[in-house]
Structure 1
């Protein structure tokens, strides 16, 4: 908790300039300063000068400084810089700040900075409902980058493949040529009315092919880096969790890396906290005599949530004898459509909790089969 002698600092970030707002103890009006965007030397000098000015004015030897800024494209390097220089730093979650929704609001950097000052002072004063502060990741979370890069590359691969198929479909061709025999297949392809592929379209398709080959090479490169990094850090606790998940049939290298590095590397007090972090916990609705659970919040980690839903579908295929798969079949039966999609989310939540218990305690989910590679190693 801050002392009574605390200088509140709000930094409104933008590409070209930063607006730094100060509010001294016992003073309602804020002081504003413009500096060039990214000029950390000027920022640190401003904060140091303001602390010295307040210390001289109040005659206090110790003046605390509490800085805040909104989480945006600048990331968290500024938080680490301020903390390393002895200033308390807080990162605001912009969408969590309570605002007046009765009419349109004026939007200026000055109003935003002064608003952050009020929010910071209230939050430090004990009002934890006025906003949410971001949990700043440590530099060690750089390990998340490989699977996130792979995800982007896979999306790009899918986009290029879809574009190739769409161009061929406009000519009445429903089969995509193989990358291994591209030139021969393209020579043999004929449009729906019996013509060869037009030369300009063929040139465009060849460029798409080259881009696709590069993307596939990059995916293999990232996967090789992931495997080598995992082998090099086999004694690390996070790496051990990834290896433990890979022992389960149906969970591969990518799924295990995403689940552990996005979710299971953290500590959770209970299963509801775990499900809330991923955004698959149901939202309660109670009003009068009505008391029920609504749909999931979708407020957690979207990448982990998507991966978990995909894994739940694969679980039905690779772990048909498990208790979870049996529960799903008994619950859904032969029903299709919306009911099945709702049930798979519920199963994904149960699966997440079961895998969490497994990596923390070593207790395998009931009825789970171990992969053949794990059996061979054993």
Structure 2
């Protein structure tokens, strides 16, 4: 009886010690996110990761809340994806330090085996190295505020509407060309549509798209006016109110960049490189970063070539970018990318108060 009593006490002591250790442990969660469920791998301290678990969304949040309330310091990580940053905000509200990272190849050993569990495990192991102090283990993504996301949604919706309008307009022109008609520009607008000399059956088909195109045009104009009204009123000539507000909202906060290299890297307009030994090879731009920002910068750079002839990067590349210059298309692309990259850096310097526009050769 005494021996049995002793075993019971030891078992109780071990259970208490286990609970105490768990309450003080650092727990890492690697999460593979899906629309209807999450696949999660948990690691406690420096132990081996546990087998992957599959949770429904609400069940996972309830389980994560229990981990956080147990006194453990919980870290989590998942890849940026089309499901946004809602999960990060939910976990942060539970007291969990949640990181969002760039999508990446997680098969480091090149096994050519990919499962949700292996992806979650790879993220968990990277997070473990990050928590231990290796800040290069994770390529972190800045999580925008909800207000920043709401502002971005306006110009992104405008972009989608413009794309839809172009698609419907192209379908109408294609119908005309396929039947030997001249493709009228803006065929769907009132006066042009009324003057179309086409068979009745073709006009009926075009009439199906015309009201949609007119409605899209109205919405696009309204959103454009809304965005231009929100832009900074005093802009360098050629920058444009619409381009300015798109660039600023895609960046979110210019102050998050510590130096010009970070700005250039975020735009994805920096050249790629493959160097070894005494050989150095620079390739095309990395396109690593925000594609909408990249497009807006290149579009703005072309306007600056026309409206800002004294802008330093424009002066540097004038022989290639000037109208009528004897340069190949590839050379012009390289030059305009260089101007766009420098423009991003200069906008960062202007927005953070490091320099005045006049110093850069920009006129208002």
TM range (shorter): 0.7 to 0.9
Find the aligned partners of 2:259 and 2:36 in 1 and give their Cα distance: 45
Change (3 A) 1:153 1:4: same
Q: What is the Cα-based RMSD across aligned positions, in Å?
A: 2.7
Aligned partners of 2:37 and 2:54 also within 8 Å: yes
Instruction: Provide the residue aligned with 1:374 in structure 2.
Output: none
Per-residue CA shift, 1:154-175, capped at 9, x if unaligned? 1222222222211111122224
Instruction: Provide the residue aligned with 2:241 in structure 1.
Output: 253
Counterpart selection for 2:286 from 287, 297, 307: 297
The equivalences for 1:107-256 within 5 A come to 107-141=114-148, 142-176=150-184, 177=187, 179-186=189-196, 189=197, 196-197=198-199, 199=201, 201-228=202-229, 230=230, 242-245=232-235, 248-256=236-244
Find the aligned partners of 1:49 and 1:301 in 2 and give their Cα distance: 36
1:265 aligns with 2:282: no
Structure 2: state its 5+ residue gaps: 1-22
Structure 1: state its 5+ residue gaps: 56-61, 190-195, 231-238, 371-378
1:6 deviates by 0.7
1:346 aligns with 2:343: no
Aligned partners of 2:41 and 2:121 also within 8 Å: yes
Change (3 A) 1:143 1:284: same
1:264 deviates by 7.1
Aligned partners of 2:152 and 2:250 also within 8 Å: yes
3-state SS, counterpart of residue 315 of structure 2: helix
Per-residue CA shift, 1:309-362, capped at 9, x if unaligned? 111212222223544433222356422321122111112222333333333333
1:309 aligns with 2:310: no
Change (3 A) 1:349 1:112: closer
- TM-score of the superposed pair, with normalisation by structure 2: 0.81
Change (3 A) 1:365 1:159: farther
3-state SS, counterpart of residue 108 of structure 2: coil
Change (3 A) 1:139 1:327: same
